[in-house]
């Protein structure tokens, strides 16, 4: 596993590794769409993650993060939402560091809700 350390927070590096492990066990691959630039919106830079089936290469779906002006926060938001989707769809993420981080994140920013601005604080 190689992680480009540019435009990432420390939390995003750890979340990246957890997402790698979860998608591998589920038989999926993932990558950031739009490369290192993201998508420019009026609210800032927005990243989204493309998830594909490892066996067939077929597209499973996209998960969008919140737009932020800082690249690192925009990437972290997409990772958070991807992990939240996986965690709430029946797959149990068994990484203790992820759960400790998630508890701290929720206590500071509130629950992660893909339809609200709760992860943009």
User: What is the tens place of the pLDDT at every residue in 21-61?
Assistant: 999 999 999 998 866 667 888 999 898 999 999 999 999 99
CB count in 10 Å sphere of residue 87: 17
Q: What domains lie within the chain, and their CATH numbers?
A: 10-109 (3.30.160)
Distance CA 82, CA 44 (A): 19
Q: Is pLDDT at 117 greater than 60 in this prediction?
A: no
Give me the mean pLDDT over the 87-92 stretch: 85
Give me the mean pLDDT over the 112-121 stretch: 51
Q: Please tell me the predicted confidence (pLDDT) of residue 33.
A: 80
Entry pTM: 0.78
């Amino acid at each position: 596993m190689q992680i480009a350390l540019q435009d990432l927070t420390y939390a995003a590096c750890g979340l990246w590794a957890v997402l790698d492990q979860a998608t591998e066990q589920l038989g999926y691959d993932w990558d950031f769409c739009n490369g290192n630039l993201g998508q420019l919106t009026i609210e800032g830079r927005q990243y989204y993650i493309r998830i594909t089936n490892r066996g067939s290469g077929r597209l499973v779906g996209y998960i969008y993060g919140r737009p932020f002006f800082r690249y690192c926060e925009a990437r972290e938001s997409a990772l958070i939402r991807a992990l939240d989707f996986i965690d709430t769809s029946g797959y149990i993420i068994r990484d203790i560091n992820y759960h400790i981080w998630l508890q701290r994140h929720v206590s500071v920013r509130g629950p992660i809700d893909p339809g609200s601005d709760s992860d943009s604080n």
